[in-house]
Structure 1
Amino acid sequence: MFFANADTMTEIDVGLRPDMPFFKASTAGKFPRITYQHIYECDKFSIGIFCLPPNGVIPLHNHPEMTVFSKLLFGTMHIKSYDWVKDGSTGTPLLADPLDGQSGCVRLAKVKVDSEFTAPCNTSILYPADGGNMHCFTARTSCAVLDVLGPPYCDPEGRHCQYYLESPLAKYTVNNVVIAEEENDGYAWLEERERPEDVTVVGALYTGPKIIEK
């Protein structure tokens, strides 16, 4: 099994069916549980599948110094992604001015994608500094996403998964930056947060075709 033709892949290629228990709608009042099937990992990349029932959400998070290929195998999903807005002279992300004496890491980001996708569709690619490095997935129907991350997350090497809260542009200010009023919807402030407690991701055994190392 290999991923050279990822654009043509479907759930059948990885041993999934939409009628599996992973994809059933959750009980009313409960947050949908997301299932993750780990396929393969080495020092250079990791491969896995996220299985989401209707209304399942993978919150806004980043991929530091990583390139990610995401392939929607079936279903409909809304994807919203951001890239950092950087200072033109220093190349560093723009930080918000402190508000009412508060401090914290709040940075300006520009929307890269804010759309619904329905399989079959092309593989999306995000890069360390472009392509929507911070993204959020919301399942409109039951769906599955194949993710290839290179290199994989690794806390000791500084590749920690960080989650974010979104705030409207008007909430904070930053010196020497002027954004036209009609562009406000294309920007937001992202503030680091702890992993959301209401998000549950459980592991499940991958039962599809095996990876053969050469």
Structure 2
Amino acid sequence: MKLADCSSLRRNQICRGDFGDVERVITKRKAAGEGICRRRARRRVAASSSAIQTLFLACKSIFSGPPTVPSPADVRMIRNIVDMMTSEDVDLSPEIPFFKAKTAVGGAPGVSYTTIYQSSNFSICIFFLRPAAVIPLHDHPGMTVFSKLLLGSMHVRAYDFVDTLHLTSDAPPQEGRRRRLAKLTVDTELTAPCATSVLFPETGGNIHTFTAITPCAVLDIMGPPYSAQDGRDITYYKDLPFSDGEVGGERKEGKYWWLEETDMPEEAVLAPVTYLGPPVVDV
């Protein structure tokens, strides 16, 4: 399953190992309450359901279909909703064995994902990363993306393409590969809880990569989602240093990089797990 495939999952697609622990612990907590009284558990689940349902309804009202780009007011509304969300709103807990793991189980995939909701207009997913796991450098063509780190710590590196028709690379790209100059917009470490990031079709760090420092979980809202049929297929890149010339009067080492298209990396193959948190109701 490649990075772009956030689709409905069947029980026989579940990834076991530590990701199976995510399912088992959530199921056990739901069934037994695990040390909290039933009345209190019902209140927490109701609050969680309300949060994810509020997010779903906001996305449904805003993402009416490609090529919808939310207005600044709509962006603020979704960002405010996501900013208020926590891991408990999707029934995740730091006590789940996956989030306590210091190393990956031998042979287990580095990145997994679960789909909360998907339509042709938008999708809501959660990505799970093991320590040192990488979501490789990739783009978001014609998409607006909201991302929120729910648990853990990760390093984020993001770029935006720049218009540089007069510039060429010292080293030619690999045959058949396209190479464009991009500006480094984000190069930082994030630790939950933190603010929601927003990527726009052309700006905001539209091409990015995540590297997990600890086990972590990222909530992702994409509107519209990837669709090769509609011209929104995912493209992967490798970044190459740009060391000569000026861009817009700026001459800063490490600020600009060549991004060269590449084949889908092995780490872009993701393992699906079934979503067991509060469901959304399509009304």
TM-score w.r.t. the length of structure 1 is: 0.85
1:193: which partner in 2? 262
Q: Specify whether residues 43 and 17 from structure 1 end up closer, same or farther in structure 2 by C-alpha distance, changes over 3 A only.
A: same
Structure 1 stretches lacking a partner, 5+ long: 88-92
Identity %, equivalent residues: 45
- Cα drift, residue 96 of structure 1: 3.5
Larger CA Rg, structure 1 vs 2 = 2
2:19: which partner in 1? none
- Cα drift, residue 198 of structure 1: 4.0
Q: Structure 2 matches for 1:10-159, cutoff 5 A?
A: 10-20=86-96, 22-23=98-99, 24=101, 25-27=103-105, 33-87=110-164, 96-97=168-169, 99=171, 103=175, 104-159=177-232
Q: Specify whether residues 149 and 97 from structure 1 end up closer, same or farther in structure 2 by C-alpha distance, changes over 3 A only.
A: same
Which residue identity does 2:96 align to in structure 1? M
CA distance in structure 2 between the aligned counterparts of 1:153 and 1:51, rounded to whole angstroms: 19
The structure in which a higher percent of residues are strand is 1
Q: Is the 8 A contact 2:109 2:271 kept in 1?
A: no
Structure 2 stretches lacking a partner, 5+ long: 1-52, 56-77
- Cα drift, residue 100 of structure 1: 5.9
CA distance in structure 2 between the aligned counterparts of 1:138 and 1:126, rounded to whole angstroms: 18
Cα RMSD (Å): 2.4
CA distance in structure 1 between the aligned counterparts of 2:123 and 2:149, rounded to whole angstroms: 17
Aligned length: 203
Q: Is the 8 A contact 1:83 1:133 kept in 2?
A: yes
Which residue identity does 2:273 align to in structure 1? A
Which residue identity does 2:259 align to in structure 1? L
CA distance in structure 2 between the aligned counterparts of 1:65 and 1:185, rounded to whole angstroms: 27
Does the alignment pair 1:207 with 2:259?
Answer: no
TM-score w.r.t. the length of structure 2 is: 0.66
Q: Specify whether residues 198 and 149 from structure 1 end up closer, same or farther in structure 2 by C-alpha distance, changes over 3 A only.
A: closer
The structure in which a higher percent of residues are helix is 2
CA distance in structure 1 between the aligned counterparts of 2:143 and 2:152, rounded to whole angstroms: 26
Which residue identity does 2:54 align to in structure 1? F
Does the alignment pair 1:178 with 2:246?
Answer: yes
